Amino acid sequence: MAKKAFFVAGTDTDVGKTVVSAGLLQAANNLGLKTLALKPIAAGCEQTEEGLRNGDALLLQQTASQKLSYDQVNPIALEPPIAPHIAAQQLGRRLDADRIAALCRGAMMQPADFMIIEGAGGWRVPLNNRQTLADVPKQLKTPVILVVGMKLGCISHTLLTVEAIVKDGLRLAGWVANCVDPQMSCYQENLETLQSMLAAPLLGEVPYLDNVNPVDVAEHLNLSNLSLVNK
């Protein structure tokens, strides 16, 4: 059974959820913890000889210390690189939060100390006309780690996302400031504003890296506020 599982959400698509998720896994591996990771739903998959494959899921599969099959890591792989419910519609498939949550629960039965479930896009990504991907962490009752893509506009995106997380009855366990824009003006002022407005701990500031990889990202993350290790 995974002891501590977290849902990794982002302020938007392309803000560094995968980069930070892999960094968090690596930081936990460095502490000697057993780690697991899922990307339950991925759009933008490539056809390979083994079947559809997604870069996010492959990186998480590779970085987690506990090995899962690709289909366990990413049970719903959609080829078109578009909003998942539209990709599913085009393929004549229907996405369902209950089914995705059940698939996650299955993987959560594996023994691990730290588990990451990476979302897709932002918090209210639709699965169908009635459900959004937020229904999955809601059903699983997993605390959330929010990746903030540090760029102009990120403060409002962060506050709206945190409001929605809390409204959904979930706990924000921590957040990460990820520098996706090396030219951002007033980075420090934006960071301080977020720090003063968010109650949850800042788990780290990841600088803009020329060579993004889990080992270097992990150096900027501090898991001590997630209470993973029993003291």
Ligand X SMILES: Nc1ncnc2c1ncn2[C@@H]1O[C@H](COP(=O)(O)OP(=O)(O)OP(=O)(O)O)[C@@H](O)[C@H]1O
Region near Mg ion per CB under 5 A, out of 15-23, 60-68, 143-151, 186-194: 15-23
Cβ-contact 127, 96 below 8 angstroms: yes
- Residue 62 to residue 153: CA distance in whole angstroms: 33
Region near Mg ion per CB under 5 A, out of 53-61, 83-91, 107-115, 153-161: 53-61
- Residue 144 to residue 160: CA distance in whole angstroms: 14
208 binds, among ligand X, Mg ion, none (CB under 5 to 8 A by kind): ligand X
Active-site annotation holder among 39, 138, 151, 167: 39
155 binds, among ligand X, Mg ion, none (CB under 5 to 8 A by kind): none
The residue from 102, 164, 198, 208 that contacts ligand X (CB under 6 A) is 208
Give residues 37-66 in contact with ligand X (rule: CB under 6 A): 56
| CB-based burial label for 182 (10 Å; 0-12, 13-18, 19+) | exposed
β-partners of residue 214 are none
Give residues 118-147 in contact with ligand X (rule: CB under 6 A): 120-121
Nearest to 174 by CA among 33, 14, 27, 47: 27
The residue from 29, 36, 41, 56 that contacts Mg ion (CB under 5 A) is 56
Select 160 or 212, whichever has its Cβ closest to ligand X.
Answer: 212
- Say whether 39 is catalytic: yes
Give residues 93-122 in contact with ligand X (rule: CB under 6 A): 120-121
The residue from 2, 5, 9, 19 that contacts ligand X (CB under 6 A) is 19
Q: Which residues are catalytic?
A: 39
Point out which residues bind ligand X (CB under 6 A): 10, 13-19, 56, 120-121, 178-180, 206, 208-209, 212
Point out which residues bind Mg ion (CB under 5 A): 17-18, 56
